[in-house]
Structure 1
Amino acid sequence: MTEPTAAILTSFSSALADVVARTTPAIVSVHSHRLRASGFVWKPGLIVTADEALADEGEVSIKFADGTARPASIAGRDHTSDIALLRFDARDMAPVVLSSAVPDLGSLSVVVAAEHGVPTAALGAVSLVGRSWRSLRGGEIDARIELDVRLRPSHEGGLAVNASGEAMGMAVQGVRRVLVIPGATIGRIAGRLETHGRIARGYLGVGLQPVKLDDGVGAMVMSVDKSGPSAAAGIRQGDIIVGWNDENLSSVRSLLRALGPDSVGSVVDVEIRRGGEPVRVKLTIGERADA
Structure 2
Amino acid sequence: MTDLTPLSSLSSALADVVTRSAPSVVAVHSHRSRATGFVWKPGLIVTADEALADEGDIQISLPDGSTAAATIAGRDHTTDIALLRTDASLAPVKLAATVPPLGTLSVVVAADRDAPSAALGMVSLSGKSWRSLRGGDIDARIELDVRLRFAQQGGLALDASGDAFGMAVLGPRRVLVIPTATIERVAAQLEARGRIARGYLGLGLQPVRLDDGIGAMVMNVDKAGPSAAAGIRQGDVIVAVNDQKLSGVRALSRTLGPASVGTVVDVAVRRGGEPVSFKVTISERPEA
TM-score by length of 2: 0.91
Distance 1:251 1:34 in 2: 38
Amino acid at match of 1:224: N
1:48 to 46, 49, 71: 46
Once the two structures are TM-superposed, the CA of residue 268 in structure 1 deviates from its matched residue by 1.8
Cα gap change, 1:255/1:168 in structure 2, threshold over 3 Å: closer, same or farther? same
Secondary structure of the structure 2 residue equivalent to 1:188: helix
Alpha carbons of 1:166 and 1:208: their partners in 2 closer, same or farther (altered >3 Å)?
farther
Alignment root-mean-square deviation, CA: 2.1
- Say which SS state the counterpart of residue 16 (structure 1) adopts: helix
Which residue in 2 is equivalent to 1:158?
155
1:64 counterpart letter in structure 2: L
Identity percentage of aligned residues: 65
The alignment status of 1:219 with 2:215, answered yes or no, reads yes
> Which stretch of structure 1 is more off in the superposition, 232-241 or 107-116?
232-241
Shift of 1:65: 2.0
Contact 2:28–2:60 (CA<8 Å) still a contact in 1?
yes
1:111-157 CA distances to partner (integer Å, 9 max, x unpaired)?
Answer: 10012432100001111122211111111111111111111011111
Equivalent residue letter for 2:125 = L
Stretch of structure 1 that moved more, 269-278 or 279-288: 269-278
SS of residue paired to 1:105: coil
CA contact (8 A) 1:209 1:222 kept: no
Amino acid at match of 1:200: A
8 Å CA contact retained: 2:51, 2:150: yes
What's the offset of the Cα at 1:233?
2.6
Match status 1:70 vs 2:68:
yes
Amino acid across the alignment from 1:10 = S
Please show how residues 1-291 of structure 1 align to structure 2 within 5 Å: 7-91=5-89, 93-204=90-201, 205-209=203-207, 211=209, 213-214=211-212, 217-227=213-223, 228-290=225-287
For 2:11, the aligned partner's letter is S
1:225 counterpart letter in structure 2: V
Letter in 1 for 2:14: L
Deviations 1:71-115 (A, max 9, x none): 011111111111000001134x22111122211111111110012
Q: Deviations over 1:130-188 (max 9, x none)?
A: 22111111111111111111110111110111111111111111111111111100000
**Contact 1:63 1:116 (8 Å CA) reproduced:** no
> Any conservation in 1 of the 2:205–2:219 contact (CA below 8 Å)?
yes
Partners of 1:202 and 1:169 lie apart in 2 by 27
Q: Does structure 1 conserve the Cα–Cα contact (< 8 Å) formed by 2:216 and 2:248?
A: no
Q: Is the 8 A contact 1:210 1:252 kept in 2?
A: no
Question: Under a length normalisation based on structure 1, what TM-score does the superposition of the two structures give?
Answer: 0.91
Contact 2:216 2:249 in 1 (8 A): no
The verdict on how the C-alpha distance between 1:237 and 1:225 changes in structure 2, with shifts beyond 3 A counting, is closer
Shift of the 213–108 alpha-carbon distance from structure 1 to 2, 3 Å rule, reads farther
The amino acid that maps onto 1:236 is: R
Q: Secondary structure at the match of 1:192?
A: helix
Amino acid at match of 1:258: T
Distance 2:155 2:259 in 1: 29
Distance 1:210 1:95 in 2: 51
Cα distance in structure 2, aligned partners of 1:210 and 1:126: 42
* Structure 1: runs of 5 or more not aligned: none
CA distance in 1, matches of 2:159, 2:19: 13
Residue segments in structure 2 that go unaligned for 5+ positions in a row:
none
